[in-house]
């Protein structure tokens, strides 16, 4: 009798947790359905150039943008502000969406800043491309001249690492800039920054 009572009690405690797990995300779709729809959507998206970041290979997603959700704004409101499109997911304080146009890999600032995105070919995770480049230089003394000639902003220079961090200006295609830097004799290597995980303040 006691064993049946304990088993029933455990079942009643576990039921709400189980229901949450198999029931629905806030979107109203179960986990499996949402994952299937996401995978199907990713298959339809245009793919651009490949880039390497943190030893991972990414492919630029054409027409998929990331926009920051400003204070007191819902993801759908951010999407409307950016001119509409289909929401793919949220990542930290950003909404990732497919836009009507297949834009280049540039940072834009119409109705708020939006960033290009890239797909991790190994994990299937979408990362945000904020327009920052990590550039290893053959001589760190050339950091400023490299920035000037490629029309870049200097973010930070680490002389002991022979590395400079640059940021593209709005409208510049980050992949095209990376290609141009790679062809510069003063540059040893270039890496495009891709951010997969965003910290959200509590």
- Check if the beta carbon of residue 108 is closer than 8 Å to that of residue 117: no
- Check if the beta carbon of residue 113 is closer than 8 Å to that of residue 178: no
Indicate the pTM of the whole model: 0.75
pLDDT in tens, 91-141: 888 999 887 665 667 776 655 788 999 999 999 899 999 999 999 999 999
The stretch 141-162 carries a mean pLDDT of: 97
More confident residue, 124 or 165: 165
- Check if the beta carbon of residue 153 is closer than 8 Å to that of residue 187: no
- Check if the beta carbon of residue 96 is closer than 8 Å to that of residue 45: no
Q: What is the per-residue pLDDT for 114? A: 86
Say how far apart CA 159 and CA 17 lie, in whole Å.
Answer: 53
């Amino acid at each position: 009798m006691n064993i049946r009572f304990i088993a029933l009690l455990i079942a009643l405690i576990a039921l709400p947790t189980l229901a949450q797990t198999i029931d629905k995300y806030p979107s109203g779709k179960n986990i499996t359905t949402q994952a299937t729809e996401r995978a199907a959507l990713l298959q339809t998206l245009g793919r651009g150039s490949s880039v390497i970041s943190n030893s991972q290979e990414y492919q630029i997603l054409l027409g998929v943008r990331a926009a920051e959700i400003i204070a007191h704004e819902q993801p759908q409101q951010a999407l409307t502000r950016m001119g509409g499109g289909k929401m793919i997911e949220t990542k930290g304080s950003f909404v990732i969406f497919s836009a009507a146009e297949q834009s280049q890999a540039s940072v834009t600032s119409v109705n708020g800043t939006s960033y290009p995105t890239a797909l991790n070919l190994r994990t299937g995770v979408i990362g945000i491309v904020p327009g920052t480049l990590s550039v290893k230089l053959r001589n760190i003394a050339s950091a400023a001249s490299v920035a000037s000639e490629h029309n870049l902003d200097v973010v930070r220079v680490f002389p002991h690492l022979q590395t400079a961090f640059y940021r593209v200006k709005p409208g510049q295609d980050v992949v095209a800039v990376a290609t141009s830097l790679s062809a510069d004799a003063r540059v040893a290597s270039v890496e495009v920054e891709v951010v997969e995980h965003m910290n959200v303040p509590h």
